[in-house]
Chains A and B, each alone.
Chain A
């Protein structure tokens, strides 16, 4: 593998700087003793202390994470199966129809999705709260999973599957040993982007939640009128650091075990 040229490195660095700039900006102000993201007065940890003193906010944070992870997981399963099914459809018209339907929720503004889900849930008589929010998040995350898995499926060489079948693999084996490993990057991509959808969503959650269930987004948006408190910055900063630590840590741990495993085999 060739080494990246300096120009390439600078380019990547620039992209990362831009991506992280607003986040570091938020974190910077989470240490501001003044009440807002405006003038930096002096350094303080008080907003971080406030996070741990506010059990309501902590519960909301946990709710947010649970909803994101669970909805991401369920949406990924349904979406991946759906994408495999769509690819297997031979009728071109049928396939295009399904794909168009798939994208309806991506093009619909959140308010429309939220309002129609709310009407749907109250019509069926679902109690609003954790379940209704979870189901809605699964619903609007499925299309992104399909769109991430689909290109991997289309790239897949059919002869791979034929070969497996010729060698006597059962359908189940074909799915678990050939198809899934091949499209795995697409599945992970779908899952991670489903997390993004879930964590970012305000409008849909707002409409379908109730009975005391709340997520971080709802708290943040409803604070806009009177000013977003820096406690929210602090909580975002904490979430950010924990996420980065988990991801980096997980990456190096699995890498090491993989390498160790390979060495043992040798």
Chain B
């Protein structure tokens, strides 16, 4: 019974969609059909299907997948353990606070931390290991990306775990289910909406990551986001940049349809 009353609540939301989603999409699609001289063309679209951009699409996907996977892998147990702590809401806030410090500053800090003479290498040295260049590797890129997305993954999972009825878990245990079975059959299915939401807010933006592809990966990882950035700012080719953006949006919609809720609306 969310019915009619809640329809009215959509009003400001619809205005937002019309002004800040539909209008920009129209603009982007329009620009994507312009060449450098402002003439109509579909050349940008054919250019996208060159090997360079397809390769980039695949790279973007692969890294977004890796980032999401590792973020989930670390975030789920963290969220789970957080719900068991005494001051769980305080701890949750303390997970969010680091994300309020400017990202570029934190990235510079990471450059220092990962550096040859930084604390990590100093630590490795204590164990007699050799100094390693950690920067500009897949490891550092994924590490920093996971770092960025972790609060976004933990929060929705925490919220769905938090309200989980403990009696359900006790019941399952009483009925002889092992911890793992309890998790797989009871806990995980009940938190699936939170997990989905976490995956969406990680995977989708990870597709268009830029900046740290340069700062942390030294341009050894080139994503669609980086390419768009370059087209808009450096090449001043808004047409090609918009075309890539159109494809990013299409890819996102496909992902949404694949992970979308199977359940119907609430009556």
Contact = CB atoms under 8 A, between A and B. Distances in A.
B98 A174 contact: no
B20 A85 contact: no
A171 B2 CA distance: 9
A12 B155 CA distance: 15
A82 B9 contact: yes
Contacts of B98: 19-20, 22-23
Contact of A78 (B4, B12, B205): B12
A151 B160 contact: yes
B96, B109, B112, B160 interface centre (most CB from chain A within 10 Å)? B109
Which bucket holds chain B's interface residue count?
35 or more
Contact of B5 (A25, A175, A248): A175
A90 B3 CA distance: 9
A134 interface: no
Interface residues of A, number: 102
B94 A37 contact: no
B204 interface: yes
Interface in B112-160: 112-113, 119, 147, 150-152, 155-156, 159-160
Interface in A13-31: 15-16, 18-23, 25-26, 29
B193 A120 contact: no
B170 to A, nearest CB: 11
Nearest to B84: A4
A251 B208 CA distance: 36
B172 to A, nearest CB: 15
Contact of B108 (A151, A217, A228): A228
A50 interface: no
A165 interface: yes
B101, B248, B257, B264 interface centre (most CB from chain A within 10 Å)? B101
B82 interface: yes
Contact of A104 (B3, B21, B207, B210): B21
A75 B178 CA distance: 43
Given A88-B7, A92-B265, A106 B205 contact: yes
A154 to B, nearest CB: 5
B204 A151 contact: no
Interface stretch (B39-47, B51-59, B237-245): B237-245
A109 B225 contact: yes
Contacts of B19: 120, 139
Interface in A51-92: 77-79, 81-82, 84-92
29 contacts: A11-B77, A37-B112, A78-B13, A81-B12, A82-B13, A88-B7, A103-B200, A106-B252, A108-B208, A108-B248, A109-B229, A115-B238, A117-B24, A120-B20, A120-B23, A142-B16, A144-B152, A147-B197, A148-B156, A154-B193, A158-B266, A161-B2, A175-B6, A193-B151, A196-B96, A196-B151, A199-B101, A243-B100, A247-B97
Interface of B: 1-10, 12-13, 16-17, 19-25, 27-28, 74, 77-78, 81-82, 84-85, 87, 89-91, 93-106, 108-110, 112-113, 119, 147, 150-152, 155-156, 159-160, 162-163, 193-194, 196-197, 200-201, 204-205, 207-208, 210, 225, 228-229, 232-233, 238, 241-242, 245, 248-249, 251-253, 256-257, 260-261, 263-267
6 closest Cβ pairs, A-B complex: A82-B13, A85-B10, A88-B2, A22-B109, A151-B193, A90-B265
Interface of A: 1-2, 4, 8, 11-12, 15-16, 18-23, 25-26, 29, 37-38, 77-79, 81-82, 84-92, 95-96, 98-109, 111-113, 115-117, 119-120, 138-140, 142, 144, 147-148, 150-152, 154-155, 158, 161-162, 165, 171-172, 174-175, 179, 185-186, 189, 192-193, 195-196, 199-200, 202, 216-217, 220-221, 224, 228, 232-233, 236, 239-240, 243-244, 247-248, 251
